[in-house]
Structure 1
Amino acid sequence: MALPLAACAEGAEDSSSGDSGAKAEVTIGVGGKALMVYLPTTLADELGYFDEEGVDVTFNDLQGGSKALQALQGGSVDVVNGFYEHTIQMQAKNRDLKAFVAMLRYPSMVLAVSPQAKGIASVKDLKGKKVGVTAPGSSTDFFLKYLLKGNGLEPDAASVHGIGGDASALAAVENGQVDAAVLLEPSYSLLDKRAGAGKVKVLADTRTEEGVKEVFDVTSYPSAVLYSNADWVEENSETAGKMAKAIIRALDWIEQHSAQEIADKMPKEYGGDDPETYVAALEGAKDAYSQDGLIETEGAEAVAEVLKLSNPEVAEAELDVSKTFTNEFAEASS
């Protein structure tokens, strides 16, 4: 494992040197590129910001955050566009990952009941039920386990099924293949529209500050970030800084433009056969995006506490959350 990781790091460092003038070549693993939680990365690419900052990015689109993490561990990607939880999860395994720019301040996950399911009125009713997540071991899985534990159930009280995050997730919930699912946008908005007003029971919703406060008891919860091996971030600090700046430029563009204007910059297939619902979902999601790319210590510590409740390995580990992220690049870009 060390050899391909080292090779990736060396290649990125060489290509970003001032002498060669060549762009840094970076492969980004994304846990579901069409999902709105990762939209700032796609937008930065579509607007040409990575290119302008001197970074040539290639995307590896994967089913969920755990798959993107595996790709990083295996050396097939240099950087992951995933959820911040994984940096803490891996520190508990004595592996150092570091997030270097944030793009979400609210997780924007919705635990929703399938319109086909009966008798589910609360999280406690999920005991013994089939619940969909993007992939086992992903942040949606962590979220589910946290909610189960917080409602007096064991983290494995429900049967977890990997259903992806976009069209496959929507189909699984609509068709009753799972009784409930942790959904991301635009999947939740599409489900809500197709089922009809009031037909989809929501058990938890973290798309707003109010929802985050209710679930996690904080006002900001670092979610989608760019992260990599801590050694890569240190050895490729110039490249990491350029990538962070491109993301922050995209976040500023989001703040300055309408949902329709943002949607117009996305690949057409992201809107699918219902572009109006995609725009509506994006309008609701805009407030969840970070405005500065920073990770707040209070929020990072809240993430660690959530993982301690749902992951015994994290609960038993001695954590130093300060080593799992850096704000140096975001601060330099502000």
Structure 2
Amino acid sequence: MIRRLLMSALIIAGLMTALLEGCGKDNGEEGLVKVRVGEVTRSLFYAPEYVAIAKDLFKEEGLQVELTTTFGGDKTMTALLTGGIDIALVGSETSIYVYQQGAEDTVINFAQLTQTDGTFLVSREAVDAFHWDQLQGSVFLGQRKGGMPQMAGEFTLKRHGIDPQKDLELIQNIEFANIPAAFASGTGDYVQLFEPQASIFEQEGKGQVVASFGVESGHLPYTVFMTKQSYIDANKETTQKFTNAIYKAQKWVEEHNAEEIADVVLPFFKDTDRAIAIKVIDRYKQQGSYASDPAVDEEEWNNLLDVMTTAGELTSRPAHEELVDNSFAEQAAD
């Protein structure tokens, strides 16, 4: 599904190229350079992004970030390819899908934000000592096929000797936003959930977190800021300043505790309880989900390719240097 939508986006992008060429940069308030960013979802998983905005780290670099939540990898990449946004915050797998479709304007990963999967395995029943073989014969409510959560989930299951197509009943046809409600209404013995829903279910007695797919699947470029090569070519200084701000935010998050981080980012989450936010952020910090710098290293990239290969989503293995530009991250860290 995601690849069909990306193919349509590539066609639209090609038709729009002539219209977009030659357009000048849109300056924001007070002479700041405006950068339109589309995030795949609104999540505490992306805490450093909100820190960069809330603490004016982008403004320090002369940028005005216009943040939009684009709700889904396919929609986010479509917005990027058709010029609706300048920079996308989304999983690196989407840049690979675009590459596999033969895009002339390659999508480049230039600043990593998270370095593990962000989902957790939640059991409906309380478990004293969890073992992965307890999933044998169970009903497992997973994520959408082709997305990183699903691929990281299946990769983990297979590492523990579980064939997700044969050893359990795998449900993948429920929309991302409806998965928590489906589990709460009685569907599934286990569910793969992002925070804060996993912690909320624990608080409400609806489930228990028994494992982390982030820990199990290892480091990979899970959520990365990316843009078209043409944008980088035309806006190298802006791309560098953007990366500088992200690196400053990453160091701030690394140096502060969950309570301090929560107080900075909570204005972006009006309906989230502070105690839940603190628990979520601490959980992500403890398992090393927030990247400490923006570089996408080759080992992480190859782990991503292994995960995608296991899921049957790769037609070839694009080399690290084809879709990753670490020059901005390296300069930011100097």
Which category of TM-score, normalised to the shorter sequence, fits these structures? 0.7 to 0.9
2:25 alignment counterpart = 14
In structure 2, distance between residues paired with 1:162 and 1:7: 38
1:125 aligns with 2:137: yes
Provide the C-alpha distance between the structure 1 equivalents of 2:110 and 2:20, rounded to a whole number of angstroms: 18
TM-score using structure 2 length: 0.80
Structure 2 equivalent of residue 31 of structure 1: 40
**Could you tell me which residue of structure 1 aligns to residue 171 of structure 2?**
159
Residue type matched to 1:172 in 2?
Answer: A
Q: Deviations over 1:289-311 (max 9, x none)?
A: 11121111011011011101113
Q: What letter corresponds to residue 24 of structure 1 in structure 2?
A: V
On the 8 A contact 2:140/2:169 being kept in 1, the answer is no
Q: Which residue type is aligned with residue 256 of structure 1? A: E
Per-residue deviation at 1:85? 2.2
| Alignment of 1:70 onto 2:69 | no
Superposed displacement of residue 257, structure 1 = 1.7
Provide the residue aligned with 1:227 in structure 2: 226
**Structure 1 unaligned residues grouped into runs of 5+:** none
Instruction: Encode CA deviations 1:148-180: one digit per residue, 9 max, x unaligned.
Output: 555334499723134436xx5543332334554
Q: CA deviation at 1:24?
A: 2.6
Greater shift, 271-280 or 46-55, is seen at 271-280
Aligned residues of 1:146 and 1:310 also touching (Cα < 8 A): yes
**Contact (CA 8 Å) 2:153, 2:213: kept in 1 or not?**
no
**Distance in 2, Cα, partners of 1:5 & 1:111:** 43
Contact 1:66 1:137 in 2 (8 A): no
Evaluate the alpha carbon distance shift between residue 249 and residue 93 of structure 1 in structure 2; reply closer, same or farther with a 3 A threshold: same
Structure 1 residue 181 corresponds to structure 2 residue 164: no
Which residue in the other structure is 1:107 paired with? 117
The percentage of aligned residue pairs carrying the same residue is 21
Match of 1:307 in 2: 308
**In 1, distance between residues paired with 2:14 and 2:182?**
38
- Name the SS of the counterpart of 1:125 in structure 2: coil
1:297 maps to amino acid: E
Q: Residue 125 and residue 82 in structure 1: after superposition, are their counterparts in 2 closer, same or farther (change >3 A)?
A: farther
**Aligned pairs (5 A) from 1:200-215:** 200=208, 202=210, 204-207=211-214, 211-212=215-216, 215=217
Secondary structure in structure 2 of the residue aligned to 1:14: coil
Which residue of structure 2 aligns with residue 270 of structure 1? 269
Q: Report the aligned-residue RMSD.
A: 3.2
Q: Which runs of 5+ in 2 are unaligned?
A: 1-12, 127-131
TM-score, normalised by the number of residues in structure 1: 0.80
Give the count of matched residue pairs: 309
Does the 8 Å contact 2:221/2:296 carry over to 1?
yes
* Structure 1 partner of 2:327: 328
Q: How far apart in 1 are the matches of 2:21 and 2:87?
A: 10
1:139 and 2:148 equivalent?
yes
Contact 1:97–1:227 at 8 Å: present in 2 too?
yes
What is the letter of the counterpart of residue 206 of structure 1?
F
Give, in whole Å, the separation in 2 of the partners of 1:6 and 1:195.
Answer: 56
- One-letter amino acid matched to 1:81: L
Change (3 A) 1:180 1:66: farther
- State the match for 2:129 in structure 1: none
Amino acid at match of 2:304: V
Cα 1:105–1:170, aligned 2, differ >3 Å: closer, same or farther?
same
**2: distance between equivalents of 1:80 and 1:328?**
18
- Equivalent of 1:56 in 30, 50, 64: 64
